[in-house]
Amino acid sequence: MRVLGIVGSRRKKGNTAYLVQRTLEAIKSKDIDTELIFLSDYTIRGCIGCEGCKDTYKCVIMDDMQKIYPLLLNCDAIVLGSPTYFYNITADMKAFIERLYCYQIFDEEDRSVWSSVHEVLGGKYAVVISICEQNTEEDMGFAAEAMSKPLTGLGYRVIEAVKILKLFKKEDVLGSQDALEQVERAGEKLKKTLRLRNETEKKLKLLE
Ligand X SMILES: Cc1cc2nc3c(=O)[nH]c(=O)nc-3n(C[C@H](O)[C@H](O)[C@H](O)COP(=O)(O)O)c2cc1C
Interacting residues toward ligand X by CB under 6 A:
9, 11, 14-16, 83-87, 131-134, 139, 141, 167-168, 170
SS3 129: strand
If the CB atoms of residues 11 and 189 are measured against ligand X, the closer one turns out to be: 11
Q: Which residue is nearest to ligand X (CB)?
A: 14
Query: Minimum Å distance from CB 202 to ligand X?
Result: 38
8-state DSSP, 85: B
Query: Minimum Å distance from CB 86 to ligand X?
Result: 5
Query: Minimum Å distance from CB 106 to ligand X?
Result: 33
Residue 148 backbone class (left: φ over 0; alpha: ψ -120 to 50; beta: rest): alpha
Rounded Cα–Cα distance for residues 201 and 12 (Å): 37
Query: Minimum Å distance from CB 39 to ligand X?
Result: 12
If the CB atoms of residues 63 and 133 are measured against ligand X, the closer one turns out to be: 133
Query: Minimum Å distance from CB 165 to ligand X?
Result: 7
How crowded is the C-beta side of 68, counted as CA atoms within 13 Å? 28
If the CB atoms of residues 69 and 87 are measured against ligand X, the closer one turns out to be: 87
If the CB atoms of residues 17 and 77 are measured against ligand X, the closer one turns out to be: 17
If the CB atoms of residues 11 and 195 are measured against ligand X, the closer one turns out to be: 11
Contact assessment for residue 108 and residue 60, using Cβ atoms and an 8 Å cutoff: no
Residue 56 has a CB neighbour count (10 Å cut-off) of 9
